[in-house]
Amino acid sequence: MPADAVLVVAPHPDDETLGVGGTIARAAQGGARVSVLTVAAHMPPLYSEEVHRRTVAEARAAHAALGVAESVFLDIPAVFVRDRPTHELNGMLVEAVRRLEPRVVLIPFPDRHVDHRAVFDAAMVATRPVGPGRGIAVVACYETLSETHWNAPHIEPSFTPNWVVDVTATIELKCRALACYASQIHPFPAPRSIEAARALAAFRGTQAGFAYGEGLHVVRMTAPVEALLRNAT
Amino acid sequence: MPADAVLVVAPHPDDETLGVGGTIARAAQGGARVSVLTVAAHMPPLYSEEVHRRTVAEARAAHAALGVAESVFLDIPAVFVRDRPTHELNGMLVEAVRRLEPRVVLIPFPDRHVDHRAVFDAAMVATRPVGPGRGIAVVACYETLSETHWNAPHIEPSFTPNWVVDVTATIELKCRALACYASQIHPFPAPRSIEAARALAAFRGTQAGFAYGEGLHVVRMTAPVEALLRNAT
Amino acid sequence: MPADAVLVVAPHPDDETLGVGGTIARAAQGGARVSVLTVAAHMPPLYSEEVHRRTVAEARAAHAALGVAESVFLDIPAVFVRDRPTHELNGMLVEAVRRLEPRVVLIPFPDRHVDHRAVFDAAMVATRPVGPGRGIAVVACYETLSETHWNAPHIEPSFTPNWVVDVTATIELKCRALACYASQIHPFPAPRSIEAARALAAFRGTQAGFAYGEGLHVVRMTAPVEALLRNAT
Amino acid sequence: MPADAVLVVAPHPDDETLGVGGTIARAAQGGARVSVLTVAAHMPPLYSEEVHRRTVAEARAAHAALGVAESVFLDIPAVFVRDRPTHELNGMLVEAVRRLEPRVVLIPFPDRHVDHRAVFDAAMVATRPVGPGRGIAVVACYETLSETHWNAPHIEPSFTPNWVVDVTATIELKCRALACYASQIHPFPAPRSIEAARALAAFRGTQAGFAYGEGLHVVRMTAPVEALLRNAT
Amino acid sequence: MPADAVLVVAPHPDDETLGVGGTIARAAQGGARVSVLTVAAHMPPLYSEEVHRRTVAEARAAHAALGVAESVFLDIPAVFVRDRPTHELNGMLVEAVRRLEPRVVLIPFPDRHVDHRAVFDAAMVATRPVGPGRGIAVVACYETLSETHWNAPHIEPSFTPNWVVDVTATIELKCRALACYASQIHPFPAPRSIEAARALAAFRGTQAGFAYGEGLHVVRMTAPVEALLRNAT
Amino acid sequence: MPADAVLVVAPHPDDETLGVGGTIARAAQGGARVSVLTVAAHMPPLYSEEVHRRTVAEARAAHAALGVAESVFLDIPAVFVRDRPTHELNGMLVEAVRRLEPRVVLIPFPDRHVDHRAVFDAAMVATRPVGPGRGIAVVACYETLSETHWNAPHIEPSFTPNWVVDVTATIELKCRALACYASQIHPFPAPRSIEAARALAAFRGTQAGFAYGEGLHVVRMTAPVEALLRNAT
């Protein structure tokens, strides 16, 4: 049912799990149909075909662990997303919104990685509250370790969450999904380590009233107040 | 039931209706129990007892029109809210949160009126995600015509809504409630006229995908993604 | 006379009327020579020649209604403005400033539409207080319904006007000019409807001390204090 | 004539000259009637009566040098402005606006000095576009050396001028007026030295297209575009 | 020696350890003389004498664990710091700067706790680059769990560190010092738990190139580039 | 020795001297090895070969005056930096960081000049605290007259220094180095005149506690507190 559709837009494989792996798992367990749209791929010219195959396989394993219903890969070469004509990239995302009719859309924060910015821009256009975007109840940005926190403080936008989802029940699942990304996740104290992801979740969570959380920046919400009353746990 | 409780904190009578009259009416029609806590009063030393009686009566009439379940008046003299000891004002709001157990708390934006800032500060303390505040799903600020938009641009915070509630179905009720405030609302082009309120609602609404809306600034949300799926209309 | 020249830079036909139609009409009635420079066109490859012809005709009709003295169309295909070499686009705007010697330059706010950002960037370069730009008394950004308000709040810049022009006397003319854009303006509650434009004008106006207003963001002003004394109405 | 009235609000003697001495002199020479309202005084309990007499005498000499038409001293003890009841301080400024009917109001930027913030707050209330404030064409904040630039960067508001007035013709007058403040101005490299003031003026001026300038932050402007055309030099 | 003096200003006992416990320990081990100035106390009227005695004893134990050379307690009742006359509170901090001649001053971020804001304000005045403050090489704000992160996002300032100190070698010492605050620190998932502090340190550290870190916001630095060359590890 | 290496990234010849000429000279005199990496060149297609030769010669003379140890010119045509593939430009800067192993990296503020933004972006990627960037103690942005101050206030980032280096001892050297740029520096009141540079230095310096200073915006610092103690002068 469209009323249960969640769309997560990931610039590259692993961003969706780093950012909202726990939220995806929780929503999926709660009956939502979660789709992950991965825009860029670690493919030629900057990466080998071998790396491409491996990272897509890792993504599929991680998505399966989290309960993702549908995984779409747009296969634009990493670091070249900005080079696509604006209308073409926008069109790809508009098409996804039109087909999936999501109520919730989670997109990357525009950070140090040039692809993250390009994907954010296109997602902001595709989720405008007109046409296919009119049915969306909330658009929010997620953070990704070792990119989001490398924006220049007070020159570029800083990620400060105004929405934290309690993922205490799914933090282990998230860590397991992260472990699927063997080529992307490194041992502590690497900035993209499982320990760093767990630390961020404990920091976000404890400051929001629970144990583990995932932080989001609400960009646009049109849900009625009543939505937040009945189902809030 | 607590799970259906909404708390609207108003600095003075009429702020709640100007800011979220349509949202209150919609939530009440949807089954929510809405309480309005009015902190300051137009009373001596700066206002007469007569004005005090009249504005409270106007507030009660407006609340009745909107379907407010409970109206509480703290009766702190207007323009003197900041003069109350910090712990005392905080305590009053903490007590309200403890007693009402709201899931949604709507508070004023800290703007040009010194009382609005004092009430915002106290409400921010009372809704922290600890103790009685842990059950709150969302805290958000509303705008009030002819105060919120008089903050100094780019020196003081500007109100930019990230949440717009569709009040197309209750805009007329809101205007009727505003009309109850005969002493506060003046004919167009007064900044606090019914026409100005309607214009703001049409501007917020049409830019968010519908006809009339009320803008909010999400301060803190902990609702799960699922809440926004099932009930979203 | 250069001392009376106003330059309005429009990314696409209709932006100038949506943003500052009332201001243009008031200035023209007051004796100013207003030029509108429209940068992009709804033309191939994304739009048909037919649409191109129609939108230019609509623009000419709207400009005539407002009293625009000169309409220039740069005819860069819409959504492709960013693809022009930087120095070429900058050069086009520098040339316009050199030829028209405007005292007042009104430019688009850099918002969700990629062309608006490109035009803003080029206009900021062309109006630098050196060379031909030294004679400019004020550069300001205007807002355009259904683009300006779709920037991501608190990630991208938000439009908060620090200048509101009283257009009570020309609001009807502005609405008539908007009506010329039959292909761009849709019935309420469309975000680019005449009702939405009128609502925005009433909101901006009533909050600034009059009935209808148009909001601007002052980017750079070098007028002396005396200018604001004698002629202020 | 009210249409030529300029009101400069100074927290303490010398702030008006440091901030807008050149602008005052230029406006006065151009025929404007400039009033300076000095809110606080270097008086007991923190300063001696002797210091009080001296600083007021210095202010009168500086004002005379600049061509100020009227000097009002509210005589609130320095560092105690915030301690006045809100409504009383607001009332003093409202009264000044009502009596002087200024078209241009220049106020301090809310910076490190607690009195500057209190005066800014009260001036913002007194210049609201309602009642006596409706006739004001522009409200702007000025900077004062050795206070404005000591706000905490990126925590507190930063002064970034969007209006620079050319004071090339009056910079020497400004320096002469500063020299009247023998008790407040110290030799280079003191932050409140004449050399520092001249350096700031050269920095603001050269970046705005001329030699010496004074920077202002436009808070609210309602002048029509036409005002900026005819008289702009 | 003054050239080795570090001053940490704490609003209440435990803020210094939560914020910069690891940095204090590292500096002390490196030969610096670290003083902690605690402004407010958990004392009557809102707290009992018993609580006062206990929290001071806890602070002394924590300071000892970290290697603090001198602990000063100003003993202003908690939640009443703002009520002290401005000049008196400023004077206390100026006196401390004058006596200790610190090269590095670490102060609280102005956050949700009203005392933190009052202490920040006074510390900003006391560390101005004039008089006793001229010898200070850097002033920076630290974050305190469960207050700093409760500022209203995008309305109040957000803490975004531009300086992260590597405390990998002293994180255990910091946790031991936190454990001294038995009355203030609670078990996970309390927001002021040792686990939350460790998680924050791992998050700050891993994103800055090491394991554990403490984040700071540089307010004012005057150190020469050379200082950062020779000693940087 | 790497521990003494400073890397200054200049978009065009003269930016490094305008921004941090005094800091470079001071560091060089203090024993640091300073490298200047100039990214763009005034070369064809927009400039002649003659201009190219002249500006490089000017740069070499200025660098010699300041004591620069190594000057590298990447020779990307001015205004075309953005047109280089992202990964290629990033790669050039990563390579420089890898080879020079700087402890301090000074980069341009992202301002009105499109090349400054492209260079800032690439430098931010190259100095991330991973790989070769892990040894960097501080990354900071400098300001360049007549570009940095032409960003649109409150729409684009504003330069507000949180680090000011005392260059009183080297301001004359800086002015001499500026004089080497005969083709770029013009007589007062040109925005890029030696007088304007000296005025900015006096303004930055006097507000920071000394005579002449250069302002920097700290982007990322990982130096320990101890570094700021021993060597601070």
Tens digits of residue pLDDT in E121-151: 999 999 999 999 999 999 999 999 999 999 9
pLDDT at residue E37, rounded to an integer: 98
Tens digits of residue pLDDT in F187-208: 999 999 999 999 999 999 999 9
Burial D55-72 (b: 16+ CB within 10 A, else e): bbebbbbbbebbbbeebb
**Amino acid letter for position F206:** T
Average pLDDT taken over every residue of chain D: 96
Q: Is A11 on the interface with E (CB under 8 A)?
A: no
Closest CA to F18 of F169, F177, F206, F183: F177
pLDDT at residue C232, rounded to an integer: 46
**Which residues of chain F lie closer than 8 angstroms to C219, CB-CB?**
152-153, 155
Which of F154, F155, F156, F160 has the highest number of chain B CBs within 10 A, making it the mutation to test binding with B? F154
| Phi-psi group of A67: left, alpha or beta (phi > 0 → left; psi -120 to 50 → alpha; rest → beta) | left
pLDDT greater than 50 at residue E40? yes
Q: Is E183 on the interface with A (CB under 8 A)?
A: no
* Element of type H or E holding B75: strand B70-77
Q: Is D27 on the interface with C (CB under 8 A)?
A: yes
DSSP structural state of residue B78: T
User: Is there a contact between A24 and A53 (Cβ–Cβ < 8 Å)?
Assistant: no
Closest CA to D20 of D104, D91, D119: D104
For D155, the closest chain A residue by CA position comes to A154
pLDDT band (50, 70, 90) for residue F228: confident
Closest CA to A12 of A100, A89, A69, A76: A76
**Which residues of chain F lie closer than 8 angstroms to E104, CB-CB?**
225, 228-229
Percent of chain E residues past pLDDT 90, beyond the cut: 95
Tens digits of residue pLDDT in C193-210: 999 999 999 999 999 999
Tens digits of residue pLDDT in B189-231: 999 999 999 999 999 999 999 999 999 999 999 999 988 886 5
**Which residues of chain A lie closer than 8 angstroms to C112, CB-CB?**
124-125, 128
pLDDT band (50, 70, 90) for residue D233: very low
pLDDT greater than 80 at residue A233? no
Q: Do residue A229 and residue B164 have CB atoms under 8 angstroms apart?
A: no
pLDDT greater than 50 at residue F232? no
* Tokens 């009233």 belong to residue: A209
Tens digits of residue pLDDT in F31-55: 999 999 999 999 999 999 999 999 9
pLDDT greater than 70 at residue A35? yes
User: Is there a contact between E81 and E115 (Cβ–Cβ < 8 Å)?
Assistant: yes
- Strands E5-10 and E104-108, sheet pairing: parallel
Q: Is F152 on the interface with C (CB under 8 A)?
A: yes
* Element of type H or E holding D35: strand D33-41
How far is it, in rounded angstroms, from Cα F94 to Cα A151? Answer: 17
DSSP structural state of residue F45: T
pLDDT at residue C121, rounded to an integer: 98
pLDDT greater than 60 at residue E232? no
Q: Is E215 on the interface with D (CB under 8 A)?
A: no
Which of D229, D230, D231, D233 has the highest number of chain C CBs within 10 A, making it the mutation to test binding with C? D229
| DSSP codes joined into one string, B11-58 | SSTTHHHHHHHHHHHHHHHTT-EEEEEEEEES-TTTS-HHHHHHHHHH
**Contact partners of E by the rule of 3+ C-beta pairs under 8 A?**
A, B, C, D, F
Which of E155, E156, E188 has the highest number of chain B CBs within 10 A, making it the mutation to test binding with B? E155
**Which residues of chain E lie closer than 8 angstroms to B128, CB-CB?**
112, 150
Q: Do residue F146 and residue C157 have CB atoms under 8 angstroms apart?
A: no
Q: Cis link prior to E189 (omega < 30° from 0)? A: yes
F218 contacts: CB under 8 Å, gap ≥ 6: E162, E163, E218, E221, F138, F139, F140, F162, F163
Which of B24, B218, B219, B228 has the highest number of chain A CBs within 10 A, making it the mutation to test binding with A? B228
User: Is there a contact between E67 and E34 (Cβ–Cβ < 8 Å)?
Assistant: yes
Name the 3-class secondary structure at E30.
coil
Average pLDDT for A54-80: 98
**Which residues of chain C lie closer than 8 angstroms to A157, CB-CB?**
154-156
Q: Is C179 on the interface with F (CB under 8 A)?
A: no
How far is it, in rounded angstroms, from Cα D112 to Cα D123? Answer: 17
pLDDT greater than 80 at residue C62? yes
Tokens of A91: 């069109």
Average pLDDT for A174-184: 97
Average pLDDT for E164-175: 98
How far is it, in rounded angstroms, from Cα F19 to Cα F62? Answer: 13
- According to the 3-state scheme, what is the secondary structure of chain A? CHHHEEEEEECCCCHHHHHHHHHHHHHHHCCCEEEEEEEEECCCCCCCHHHHHHHHHHHHHHHHHHCCCEEEEEEEECCCHHHCCHHHHHHHHHHHHHHHCCCEEEEECCCCCHHHHHHHHHHHHHCCCCHHHHHCCEEEEECCCCCHHHCCECCECCCCCCEEEECCCCHHHHHHHHHHCCCCCCCCCCCCCHHHHHHHHHHHHHCCCCCCEEEEEEEEECCCCCHHHHCCC
For C134, the closest chain D residue by CA position comes to D209
Residues of C (42-81) whose Cβ lies below 8 Å from B: none
The nearest CA of chain E is from the CA of A42 a distance in Å of 23
Average pLDDT for E69-83: 96
Burial of A172 (0-12, 13-18, 19+ CB in 10 A): middle
Tens digits of residue pLDDT in F78-132: 999 999 999 999 999 999 999 999 999 999 999 999 999 999 999 999 999 999 9
pLDDT greater than 90 at residue A153? yes
Tens digits of residue pLDDT in D176-216: 999 999 999 999 999 999 999 999 999 999 999 999 999 99
The nearest CA of chain E is from the CA of C158 a distance in Å of 12
How far is it, in rounded angstroms, from Cα C20 to Cα C216? Answer: 9
pLDDT greater than 70 at residue C3? no
Q: Do residue B153 and residue F153 have CB atoms under 8 angstroms apart?
A: no
How far is it, in rounded angstroms, from Cα C35 to Cα B99? Answer: 63
The nearest CA of chain E is from the CA of F57 a distance in Å of 27
Sequence-ordered alpha helix ranges (H) in C37-79: 49-66
Average pLDDT for C81-90: 95
CB pairs under 8 A between C and F: 33
**Which residues of chain E lie closer than 8 angstroms to C154, CB-CB?**
153-154
pLDDT at residue B3, rounded to an integer: 67
More confident call, B167 vs E233:
B167
* Tokens 């005066």 belong to residue: D119
Name the 3-class secondary structure at D49.
helix
pLDDT greater than 80 at residue D232? no
Q: How many residues does chain C have?
A: 233
Q: Is A227 on the interface with B (CB under 8 A)?
A: yes
pLDDT band (50, 70, 90) for residue C80: very high
pLDDT at residue C229, rounded to an integer: 86
**Which residues of chain D lie closer than 8 angstroms to C166, CB-CB?**
222, 224
**Which residues of chain E lie closer than 8 angstroms to F6, CB-CB?**
225, 229
- Strands F104-108 and F70-77, sheet pairing: unpaired
Q: Do residue B206 and residue C145 have CB atoms under 8 angstroms apart?
A: yes
Q: Cα E217 to chain center, whole Å? A: 12
The nearest CA of chain E is from the CA of C143 a distance in Å of 21
The nearest CA of chain F is from the CA of C219 a distance in Å of 6
Give CA torsion, residues C104, C107, C109, C113, to 10 deg.
170
User: Is there a contact between B6 and B16 (Cβ–Cβ < 8 Å)?
Assistant: no
Instruction: Give me the phi and psi of C166, to 5 degrees please.
Output: -75, 115
C-alpha triplet F5, F10, F14: angle, nearest 5°: 115
Distances (CA, A) of D88 to B80, D92, D108, E190, F227: 11, 6, 19, 45, 51
Tens digits of residue pLDDT in C146-170: 999 999 999 999 999 999 999 999 9
pLDDT at residue F212, rounded to an integer: 98
Average pLDDT taken over every residue of chain A: 96
Which of B109, B143, B155, B160 has the highest number of chain C CBs within 10 A, making it the mutation to test binding with C? B160
Which of B154, B186, B188, B192 has the highest number of chain D CBs within 10 A, making it the mutation to test binding with D? B154
**Which residues of chain A lie closer than 8 angstroms to F120, CB-CB?**
152
How far is it, in rounded angstroms, from Cα D10 to Cα D18? Answer: 10
**Which residues of chain A lie closer than 8 angstroms to F220, CB-CB?**
152-153
Beta bridge partners of A72: A37
User: Is there a contact between D35 and D5 (Cβ–Cβ < 8 Å)?
Assistant: yes
* Element of type H or E holding E87: helix E86-100
Q: Is F82 on the interface with C (CB under 8 A)?
A: yes
D48 contacts: CB under 8 Å, gap ≥ 6: none
Tens digits of residue pLDDT in D22-80: 999 999 999 999 999 999 999 999 999 999 999 999 999 999 999 999 999 999 999 99
pLDDT at residue B1, rounded to an integer: 43
User: Is there a contact between D178 and D194 (Cβ–Cβ < 8 Å)?
Assistant: yes
Q: Do residue C157 and residue F155 have CB atoms under 8 angstroms apart?
A: yes
Average pLDDT taken over every residue of chain C: 96
pLDDT greater than 70 at residue D118? yes
Beta bridge partners of A221: A138, B163
Q: Do residue F146 and residue C130 have CB atoms under 8 angstroms apart?
A: yes
User: Is there a contact between E223 and E229 (Cβ–Cβ < 8 Å)?
Assistant: no
User: Is there a contact between B204 and B213 (Cβ–Cβ < 8 Å)?
Assistant: yes
Q: Do residue E152 and residue B141 have CB atoms under 8 angstroms apart?
A: yes
pTM over 0.90, yes/no: yes
pLDDT band (50, 70, 90) for residue D84: very high
User: Is there a contact between B19 and B117 (Cβ–Cβ < 8 Å)?
Assistant: no
User: Is there a contact between F195 and F188 (Cβ–Cβ < 8 Å)?
Assistant: yes
For D216, the closest chain C residue by CA position comes to C221
Beta bridge partners of A37: A9, A72
pLDDT at residue B228, rounded to an integer: 87
Q: Do residue C155 and residue A87 have CB atoms under 8 angstroms apart?
A: no
Q: Do residue F207 and residue D146 have CB atoms under 8 angstroms apart?
A: yes
Q: Cα B94 to chain center, whole Å? A: 17
Q: Cα F145 to chain center, whole Å? A: 12
pLDDT band (50, 70, 90) for residue B147: very high
Q: Do residue A225 and residue B164 have CB atoms under 8 angstroms apart?
A: no
The nearest CA of chain D is from the CA of F161 a distance in Å of 7
Average pLDDT for B119-145: 97
What ipTM, to 2 d.p.? 0.96
The nearest CA of chain B is from the CA of C128 a distance in Å of 22
pLDDT at residue B230, rounded to an integer: 67
